Structure 1
Amino acid sequence: MTNTTRRVTRALLSVSDKTGLIEFARALAARGVELVSTGGTAKAIAATGLKVKDVADLTGFPEMMDGRVKTLHPKVHGGLLAIRHNTEHADAMKKHGIAPIDLLVVNLYPFEATVDKGASFEDCIENIDIGGPAMIRAAAKNHDDVAVVVEAQDYQAVLDELSRNEGATTLALRRRLAAKAYARTAAYDAAISNWFNRRLEIDAPDFRAFGGRLIQSLRYGENPHQTAAFYATPDKRPGVSTARQLQGKELSYNNINDTDAAYECIGEFDAKRTAACVIVKHANPCGVAEGPNLVEAYRRALACDSTSAFGGIIAMNRALDADTAREITKIFTEVIIAPDASEEAIAIIAGKKNLRLLLAGSLPDPRAPGLTAKTVAGGLLVQSRDNAVVDDMTFKVVTKRAPTDAEMRDLKFAFRVAKHVKSNTIIYAKDLATVGIGAGQMSRVDSARIAARKAQDAAAELKLAEPLTKGSVVASDAFFPFADGMLACIEAGATAVVQPGGSMRDDEVIKAADEHGIAMVFTGTRHFRH
């Protein structure tokens, strides 16, 4: 059996992120590995007293063009790409004075971080690494002979192998590192191409790539027989991917999906204007409310559908306070996510060891551009995020009766929520709180009836004389194709309606509203959510 271990005698190190570099370089040097390096990396290593050869001494050419050209040379790529047991390759190396490079350590110019901090176009371009990806791909291709490391967290794995194998790496490790290396350059190029597309306002590029960094491997997906993992993308949108988990069990696939739905919805409510709470179950809000403070907003959101809220996800648009934390812990909740939390609130939540508490730092901007993607058989559906917000819409009165000020306030609230509920969507709202939510039905009439029935159930539980849909307003995420859906809402007690409009039968629907003395407004904006 052919020996698949490869002794490391020479390493080329060129890193932007120097975390752990010196310790790693010392460990390599202690094993007699010759160190070759570039620019700032070479200076950092030399400053510790370690012997290091500058890549310019290896190639015979100095760095030039502001460092753009330094490793793009046959003596570098030949040393990485040469197949050690190929006699022709060995002869070429001898003839041209090319020394083998057994270990490549490269992490790339911080392009994603440069974009993230809002740098200029020119600065972003200068932070596109060329030599680094070229070397990484070369080393990864020749992984039979060369080990490639693209981030500091793998330094220890390499050192452990060198210890176990008398200064050699195994093929298994080299293949794993090679796979990671190609994934890293793919994610890097995806970030660059998507940045270009945004800057050039190209909505449908001929090629579309997405890349992400592993946040965590998940126990399973939506169901136990499915595998899953969670990745962070370069856009750094505040939410579950950026949040700090203070306590509780590891998040599941469904937890992450539901928490994202809750936090995107709560982002519609400006924390400077009002306190707000969203409760989500199975990716749909089951209660949303504004209030003078968080605890009141939570109580009013919970009152909409306390049965569904059991085991739900709660999102707040302000820092979680002690009073709200005490109230939340009265029932079983899976996750709480908020921008921040008081120390007292954190201590109260700590009493529920399985309750996850996530602090996201800030709210997502509902107006921010971005992309969403969904896989279909053999393809990828990509679209811009639904960043239409109520505050930017014109509410056009189309009925004889205009909404009262109180109705208009509730209509705007209801339409904010409708954007985040699966279609077909019907939202009953009263006094800035949802009182009935119908989601995900094939018929809009069914959504209207289900939401009304939910309100009846809530009234029975709260011992109210009548459901809160009496005197409520109603929002529909898309137009009413017939009057029947709206009539079902009127039957439930709604007095005003907001919908996008645009149906061939708008006149019929408006006429029915007028006949019942209902106020109706059109937004001209649809919020389908599938």
Structure 2
Amino acid sequence: MAVVSKMIPAPDQVKIRTALLSVSDKTGIVELAKALSEHGVRLLSTGGTFKAIRDAGLPVTDVSDVTGFPEIMDGRVKTLHPGVHGGLLAIRDDAEHVKAMEEHKIGAIDLAVINLYPFEEVRAAGGDYPTTVENIDIGGPAMIRAAAKNHAYVTVVVDPQDYPQLIQTLASNDGQTAYAFRQKLAARAYARTAAYDAMISNWFTEALDIEIPRYRTLGGALSQEMRYGENPHQAAGFYLTGEKRPGVATARLLQGKQLSYNNINDTDAAFELVSEFFPENAPACAIIKHANPCGVAIGTSLTDAYKRALACDSVSAFGGIVALNTLLDAETATEIVKIFTEVIIAPDVTDEAQAIIAAKKNLRLLVTGGLPDPRSRGFTAKTVSGGLLVQTRDNAMVEDLDLRVVTKRAPTEQELIDMKFAYKVAKHVKSNAVVYAKDGQTAAIGAGQMSRVDSARIAGLKAEEAAKAMGWAEPMTRGSAVASEAFLPFADGLLSMIAAGAKAVIQPGGSMRDEEVIAAADEHGVAMVFTGMRHFRH
């Protein structure tokens, strides 16, 4: 049964007389305490916060003196008491509430400054299970929610970034806060506890290997408010979830202006793709435009890998994202800056390479400190009207699949290598995806067409254009292996691939017309391998 409001109107201005300060992050807390003391505010505090304020020479009262109960159980129980929650939740203009406060000697708390145990940091640092659980805050969220519910009378602050605004408000308003100000802070407080609980919930699902939990929560902390989203008329922000996965969200921006919405989306796609290629096997480079690869290659050196990736489609690479799977060196940096590039992302960079890139002040350089594990699980999410679509990450790798030769001719050793390379890339191309590869580099990429035949044809045309641009005698698709991320429903798609020069095909199989497609491959002497697993990407 719903609780009915007594419809007592909220006052506009509320004088802050008593403040409760209990923070894990001590940033700015002493300065705030000093400002409050100057307004004659009585300070209540707990644990380390109490000590920091007392050591600063400010008058402060321990919450235990208010509750009449000591802090117990290693600090797990200290503020869960009517003396605290009554002071936060009491409606000052309700006679019954006032009577209860007087009867039980509960003093009103007008300001709650609270931030939470560093669960996100402990999780990101790889804390063990008991340590992570111990850093789940209980009293903090309870006080925040209580104060935020009673924002008609109580100001709640959960972020040190809001201290200066609070101090300015009190200074310009005779130690009072306005209702609109309290409303905004209450909304922020609930968002904070929601994001905190979401991170805890998601950690539990990972730790306990729960793929599809009954309730799914998503939350994060604002890292960057952007100028706009995909288009200038769309508002956008970048939120961090605390997931421990090297990538664009955890990278250090060494130079260049902040990344845009599209930059972040494309850079994430680029780095996830290049991480499919382990640096101990070979240096690798992926060049991305609009979340699709326009060139991917491995090489004898990182410079070689970059040049080979660029050769696939040097026109589309203009203004793209370059992702590298190993240390960015000076030689490679020199090559990259020859054309306009939006972002470079790599695990690390040499001082010499960084100096070369510094000459291009608008070129963003991101360093991640490592590569994401392509086999790790995690999840991805997208919104639909009224809901969320959540799935586990596509962590399948072609090396782990049971490949089955279905044609009369088996692929050669080199064709099999090229097949696997093409299939790795196809996993990261928008469906319908067709990827040609040869000798460790993409020969042509057809992405995102409604018809797989069109994807195959477009890739073939782009290969011919690339050959003309590079002065080659023939396009790289001649003698290549080709990958389709989903099965070929008809033989026409295969025939388009063969027309472009493909000699070997890798695809999931599973079409009603598999036999027809296999027969066409046999007729043209093409080797075909089934993976048994598709990689749709929408």
TM-score, normalised by the number of residues in structure 2 = 0.95
1:406 shift after superposition = 1.3
Match in the other structure for 1:125: 133
Alignment of 1:44-443 (within 5 A): 44-443=52-451
Q: 2:11, 2:179 within 8 Å by CA — same for their partners in 1?
A: no
Aligned-partner residue type, residue 101 of structure 1: I
Partner-residue secondary structure (3-state), 1:157: helix
Residues in 2 aligned to 1:359 and 1:153: alpha-carbon distance in whole angstroms: 26
Partner-residue secondary structure (3-state), 1:309: coil
> Does residue 533 of structure 2 align to residue 525 of structure 1?
yes
1:170 shift after superposition = 2.6
Alpha-carbon deviations, 1:437-486, whole Å to 9, x = none? 00111111111111001001111111222111111111110111112211
Residues in 2 aligned to 1:215 and 1:118: alpha-carbon distance in whole angstroms: 21
Match in the other structure for 1:32: 40
Aligned-partner residue type, residue 493 of structure 1: G
Gaps of 5+ in 1: none
Residues in 1 aligned to 2:10 and 2:449: alpha-carbon distance in whole angstroms: 62
Match in the other structure for 2:486: 478
> Does residue 524 of structure 2 align to residue 513 of structure 1?
no
Aligned residues: 530
Partner-residue secondary structure (3-state), 1:262: helix
Aligned-partner residue type, residue 173 of structure 1: F
Alpha-carbon deviations, 1:320-344, whole Å to 9, x = none? 2111112111111111111121112
Partner-residue secondary structure (3-state), 2:315: helix
Residues in 1 aligned to 2:254 and 2:73: alpha-carbon distance in whole angstroms: 47
Residues in 2 aligned to 1:452 and 1:367: alpha-carbon distance in whole angstroms: 31
Q: 2:11, 2:152 within 8 Å by CA — same for their partners in 1?
A: no
Residues in 1 aligned to 2:360 and 2:21: alpha-carbon distance in whole angstroms: 47
Q: 1:462 aligns with which of 449, 457, 470?
A: 470
Q: 2:22 aligns with which of 10, 14, 29?
A: 14
Aligned-partner residue type, residue 74 of structure 1: P
Residues in 2 aligned to 1:277 and 1:18: alpha-carbon distance in whole angstroms: 43
Alpha-carbon deviations, 1:379-421, whole Å to 9, x = none? 1111000001122223222222221121111111111101100
1:237 shift after superposition = 1.8
Partner-residue secondary structure (3-state), 1:307: coil
Question: Which deviates the most, 512-521 or 81-90?
Answer: 81-90
TM-score, normalised by the number of residues in structure 1 = 0.96
Aligned-partner residue type, residue 202 of structure 1: I
1:199 shift after superposition = 2.9
Residues in 2 aligned to 1:344 and 1:61: alpha-carbon distance in whole angstroms: 61
Aligned-partner residue type, residue 213 of structure 2: P
Partner-residue secondary structure (3-state), 1:306: coil
1:317 shift after superposition = 0.9
Question: Which deviates the most, 244-253 or 53-62?
Answer: 244-253
Question: Which deviates the most, 301-310 or 171-180?
Answer: 171-180
Alpha-carbon deviations, 1:204-241, whole Å to 9, x = none? 22221100111111111111111111111121321111
Of all paired residues, the percent bearing the same amino acid is 66
Compared CA separation, residues 63 and 493, structure 1 to 2 (3 A): same
Alpha-carbon deviations, 1:255-280, whole Å to 9, x = none? 11111111110111111211111111
Residues in 1 aligned to 2:399 and 2:37: alpha-carbon distance in whole angstroms: 62
Partner-residue secondary structure (3-state), 2:316: helix
Q: 2:10, 2:152 within 8 Å by CA — same for their partners in 1?
A: no
Alpha-carbon RMSD: 1.7
Partner-residue secondary structure (3-state), 2:278: coil
Residues in 1 aligned to 2:223 and 2:309: alpha-carbon distance in whole angstroms: 31
Residues in 2 aligned to 1:220 and 1:363: alpha-carbon distance in whole angstroms: 29
Residues in 1 aligned to 2:335 and 2:40: alpha-carbon distance in whole angstroms: 63
Compared CA separation, residues 189 and 418, structure 1 to 2 (3 A): same
Aligned-partner residue type, residue 401 of structure 1: R
Residues in 2 aligned to 1:347 and 1:5: alpha-carbon distance in whole angstroms: 55
Aligned-partner residue type, residue 241 of structure 2: T
1:3 shift after superposition = 6.4
1:2 shift after superposition = 9.0
Question: Which deviates the most, 59-68 or 102-111?
Answer: 59-68
Aligned-partner residue type, residue 436 of structure 1: A
